[in-house]
Each structure stands twice: as structure tokens, then as C-alpha cells.
Structure 1
Amino acid sequence: MSSIINDTKLAAKLIENGELVAFPTETVYGLGADAFNAEAVAQIFATKERPTFNPLIVHIREVSELEKLFVEIDDALLKLAEHFWPGPLTIVAKKQKSVPDIVSAGLDTVAVRMPANQTARELLKLSGKCIAAPSANRFGMLSPTTPEHVQKQLPGLKCILNGELPKVGIESTVIELCQGEFKILRPGFITEQDLLKVLPQSKTTEANSPIKSPGLLKSHYSPRKPMYLLGKAPEYSTDKKTGFLAFSEVQEPEKYHLIERLSSNGDLSEAAANFFEALHRLEDSDVDLIIAEPVPETGIGIAIMDRLKKAVYQYSDK
């Protein structure tokens, strides 16, 4: 069983020595390694069973570290950093040749963000490294928001750092930045409307573009139990125990064996913060399948629905 520790200095030393550390950010738990140590980064892919065509996000502590990662640091990038960093925004831009190809999946771009979580920031400071880190889960499964979630999925991991727990609850917004314009690659807590207040240009991602960001596969964030959107479940035996992931007031609660309510008053930010935690509880319960209520696709609701659609994809009729 992997070890949960409270010693950030020890965790930083492990990063320095080319080992892996799971650590909290304000979004979810990440599985980190020194971004400039290709062998250490390769361990991330092996541990998660993650395909190497899926690029990683590099975490930094100071804006000055961008010089190690990006070819160009323009006014648009600095404006975004000033408004949203530290925070749950990941920026994709042209990378320096010194960034290992395994980090960027062989692309000429790299994804970078500056976490706001104090434990993550302390780990970055003490290690003195830029840390490449996807979510600390088995590839394609539910993202973790507690040390125990990491331990459940990656039991062989040497070090899971305890500390300030994630508050946002879903992964960062990812944008690609090019010539002062941005394209949203993955929706998250920071919305298009938030970004447009800083940069007035926006484009949508081309459907056939390479995977430049984590979380872009059709099936992702899935529980181990069958999961369907409300109204989309196939006919199933009434003796099956059904879990319900609810957003609004539940109609006919007696139909469900277990109900997880994302928000008591329809607050989308609260729903996002509780999203993965609620799904982990349903996954670990004795229910046979999970039904999820869609949320309004506005603001952060767009990001929640992005995760929901990916979570149910493998169980749905294609």
C-alpha cells in the first residue's frame, strides 16, 4: 500500500531524486515528476498506464520559469498570467527544445500552469523543479480529490503528499495561445466569459487537431461501474441497486438505492467541487449502476458536462 505523508521536504527530495510524488492542487491530485527528467516522467506513464500520445501539464511556481518552457512570452500570455495565476488555467504554447518530448507527446507545444494550492506551491519551492503532473489516477478512471482516492487507484505509489485538499474539484481549463488569440481545448473552472474579459479573441478547437491537452479523449473520468445520463440508461432489472448523481431536487427518490447531491441549492461551483468526490462514493458503494442528472451547460456547467459525457461514453450506445 502506498504511503500518505505530511512531510513536504521529503516529497521535494523525492522529486529532486527522480521519483514520483502524488500531491494536491486546487483542482485534483496530481502525479508529479521533474519535468526535465525524461526517465522520471516516463514513470508517470507507466504508473498510470497512460498512453504516451497524451501530453502532460507542467506546473510552475513563478512566472520567470516560463523562460525555461515557452519560446515566446508575449503580452497576451502575461495578461493571462496576471489575471488567472496562481489558479486553474493551463496555457499551451510553443515549447523550448529543452523540454523533453515525452512531456509534450512529441508536439512542438507544451502545457503549463501555476497552481494556487499552498501544498503544491511549497513542493515546487522546496524541490526547485518544474513538475510535470497529470491527475493521480489510473488512466481513464475517476480523478482523485483526496489522498485515499490516489491510494485506491495507485496502491504501489511510494509517496502521496497530504496537505491542503483540492477546492475546485475538476481539472483546469486548458487553452492554446497563438498570436494573442486563445482557443479553449478543455473547459474548466475558468470560463470563456472569464477569458474574454482579458483577451477579446476566441476560436474553437479544430476537430482534427492533434491532442494538445489532457482530457480530450471521448472516454475519460469513468467509474468502474456502468454509468448513464438520466433518460439514457438501457432497460435493466428492477432488482439492481441504482445510485443517482443529482444536481437538482430528486424526483421519486424511492427509485434509488443511494443518492449523491452535488449542490443543495443548484450552485454550479459547489457542484464542480463535489463532483469527483461524489462519484468516488458511488463507485465504492454497493450500487450496481449509476444514473447522472445533467447540469445546465452554462459557465462552469460546461466543464461539468464535459466530464459527465466522457464518464458515460464507454457505457453508452455509440
Structure 2
Amino acid sequence: MQIGNDITHAAQLIQSGELVAFPTETVYGLGADALNPSAVAKIFEAKERPAFDPLIVHVAHLNQTKSLCRQWDERIRLLAEHFWPGPLTIVVEKNERVPDIVTSGLNTVGIRMPDHPLALQLIAEAKTPIAAPSANKFGRISPTKAWHVANQLTEVPYIIDGGQTTVGIESSVIRLHEDGFVMLRPGAISSDQIREVIPESKMSDEEHKLHSPGLIKSHYSPQKPLFIGEIDLKETDLSNAGLIAWGQPEYASKFSKVEYLSVDQRMEEAAINLFSALHNMESSDVEFIVADPVPEEGIGIAIMDRMRKAAYRYRNT
């Protein structure tokens, strides 16, 4: 494994069918040539990811998006003009160029243009769309720094180090349909923002297959029990407990370790710090973790979605 900033070398690895971890504005991705089924298979192997969980394809320009769609939809252009490069994934019907392994056999594919210069340079130099889920073992905490990747995926040939990611949680994922769109996964871009661009759209609560990654109930999990505001502070021994704090609560002093999402209670800062806080807690000596909930408004909806999934496996322990 190498960690560095040699984009030309990284692009050559992608072209030769190898994996490269790279930064985006959301989290670090584990990338492979999206049009090479054998290369994409290495993603599933490295992550120990189930074959039913589809991947997102990253592009550097709109023409690459058009080359993957079965039929072009002008709403894609409108959304791209407003939100790309940025943390929005658009799920559309794919054409025959997209291998079934990328989409888990579905006839749809999620596409986005990342808002990170190193990611865009990598895609451009590799001269191919890049399929990339988060660069971590399946179900574990998403990486927002290069060392987070190195700790979990030791077999990846190259990690591009772009420092701390600037959004901190995965992209919003929407699926377009004839009557509008469905929000499949909450992220930094809200349904209200999307409706401002395509106002005729209607939200739908219909049940879906896994058209998007990140929809499994248990996800983003640390290797230590995590509880969301569910601990009786008076009755629980907190001498070996960690707190992921919202603001500066008085009870923080009761915990042996504290990670602050945002002392000023700024939601965007909390999103940036969430996964890093979980990584720091996981690598510490604490026995369990308590997380303060944040208000479910704006990007707070996405933060709480990630928190609940991270804590899901410990709900009945």
C-alpha cells in the first residue's frame, strides 16, 4: 500500500484494473474502472461487500453521464447545473455499457460528479467513469481521512491523500421517475432544494429495492457499542465511556473521552466531524459510546440517519 498524491500513477492503476482509494467532498471512495467487471469485482472483495448492494458511478463531466444512461432526461441536466460537482447522486436507467455487477443486476445506476479536484483529476486522467463506494469494510465507519482507509483496507494498492473531507457524510441519493423523484438516501442536499430545481416533482413513500447503497438498517458501525442519548447518566458507570457531544453539555465531564461534533452547534460542522469522531472513539480505550442526537433539520436529517444505522446493531444489547 502507498499513500500519496500521484494522480497519474493512480489513473494508470485504474486503467490496469486495480483499485485506488481517493478523496471526495463527502467521504473517501474505493474506486475501480466502472466499465471493467473484473476490476469492479475487486471492490466487493476488498470491502467484503454483498453483491446485492449497488455501487455509485463517479463522472468528471456531463457527457460521461450521458454515455451511461439508457435515455437522456433533461432533469438530469437541470440538477447537474445546480448541484454538480457536489453531493448529489442521481439514479437513472442504465444502458448496456454499465456492467450488471455495478448495479447488482438492477436496470438503474446511480451517478454523481464529486466536488473534489483530486477526484475529478483522477477520473479525467483515467479516461473512464469510476465506480466507488466508501473506502471501508462493509458496514463499518465511513472514512473521512486517508488513515481511516489505511486502517481498514490494507490491501488497496494506492490511497490518494486529500486530507479531511469537507462534507463528511455520503451524498444524497435520488431516483428520477415519470412523476418526479424519490429520496433514497438523505445527505447534504435536501428534498426541498431539489424541488426548487424540478418543482413538479413529488415525494413518494413507496417501497423500493436497494436502488442505492446505504439503505441497510445496520451500517456505519463502530466496533464498540453505540447508544444515542439512551443512557441514564445517574445510574451508569461512565468511567470507561465516550461521548460524542452536540454543543458543550455539562455532563461531558462525566465521560472518560469526549469528541465534539460542534461546540457551536453548527450542523455542517457536525456532519464533517461525525465519522471522524466515531473512528477516534473506536481506536480509543473506551468500552462504549454515547452520542447526543442533533436536531433533524437540513443536513441534521442525514446525520441522524447515519447515527441510527451506526447504533442499530446495539439496540437490543
Q: TM-score, normalised by structure 1?
A: 0.96
Aligned to 2:84: 85
Other structure's SS at 1:138 match? coil
Q: 1:245, 1:291 within 8 Å by CA — same for their partners in 2?
A: yes
Q: Distance in 2 between the 1:44 and 1:214 partners?
A: 14
Q: Distance in 1 between the 2:205 and 2:102 partners?
A: 21
Aligned to 1:203: 203
Q: Distance in 1 between the 2:232 and 2:305 partners?
A: 18
Offset of 1:142 from its aligned partner? 0.3
Aligned to 2:94: 95
Q: 1:8, 1:161 within 8 Å by CA — same for their partners in 2?
A: yes
Other structure's SS at 1:152 match? helix
The change in CA–CA distance for 1:239 and 1:272 in structure 2 (over 3 A counts) is closer
Other structure's SS at 2:17 match? coil
Aligned to 1:292: 291
Q: Distance in 2 between the 1:47 and 1:140 partners?
A: 13
Aligned to 1:148: 147
Offset of 1:236 from its aligned partner? 8.3
Q: Distance in 1 between the 2:205 and 2:276 partners?
A: 29
- Structure 1: which 4+ aligned runs deviate by more than 6 Å? 233-237
Q: Distance in 2 between the 1:235 and 1:103 partners?
A: 49
Offset of 1:248 from its aligned partner? 2.3
Provide Cα deviations, 1:168-200, integer angstroms capped at 9, x if missing partner: 000000000112611100000011121111112
Offset of 1:252 from its aligned partner? 1.9
Unmatched 5+ stretches in structure 2: none
Aligned to 2:268: 269
The change in CA–CA distance for 1:166 and 1:206 in structure 2 (over 3 A counts) is same
Aligned to 1:316: 315
Offset of 1:165 from its aligned partner? 3.8
Matched, 1:279 2:278: yes
Provide Cα deviations, 1:23-79, integer angstroms capped at 9, x if missing partner: 000000000000000000000000000001000000000001122211122221111
Q: Distance in 2 between the 1:31 and 1:130 partners?
A: 13
Q: 1:33, 1:133 within 8 Å by CA — same for their partners in 2?
A: yes
The change in CA–CA distance for 1:204 and 1:108 in structure 2 (over 3 A counts) is same
Provide Cα deviations, 1:88-120, integer angstroms capped at 9, x if missing partner: 000001000221000000000000000110000
Q: Distance in 2 between the 1:83 and 1:239 partners?
A: 46
Q: 2:141, 2:275 within 8 Å by CA — same for their partners in 1?
A: yes
Q: Distance in 1 between the 2:46 and 2:289 partners?
A: 27
Aligned to 1:36: 35
Q: 2:239, 2:255 within 8 Å by CA — same for their partners in 1?
A: no
Q: 1:233, 1:291 within 8 Å by CA — same for their partners in 2?
A: no
Q: 1:117, 1:164 within 8 Å by CA — same for their partners in 2?
A: no
Offset of 1:232 from its aligned partner? 5.2
The letter of the residue matching 1:169 is G
Q: TM-score, normalised by structure 2?
A: 0.96
The letter of the residue matching 1:274 is N
Q: Distance in 1 between the 2:210 and 2:93 partners?
A: 14
Provide Cα deviations, 1:291-317, integer angstroms capped at 9, x if missing partner: 011100011000000000000000002
Unmatched 5+ stretches in structure 1: none
Q: 1:75, 1:180 within 8 Å by CA — same for their partners in 2?
A: no
How many residue pairs get matched? Answer: 316
Map residues 64-83 of structure 1 onto 2, 5 A cutoff.
Answer: 64-83=63-82
Aligned to 1:51: 50
The letter of the residue matching 2:79 is L
Sequence identity percentage: 49
Map residues 7-22 of structure 1 onto 2, 5 A cutoff.
Answer: 7-22=6-21
Offset of 1:130 from its aligned partner? 0.2
Q: Distance in 1 between the 2:294 and 2:209 partners?
A: 29
Aligned to 2:24: 25
The change in CA–CA distance for 1:55 and 1:175 in structure 2 (over 3 A counts) is same
The letter of the residue matching 1:203 is M
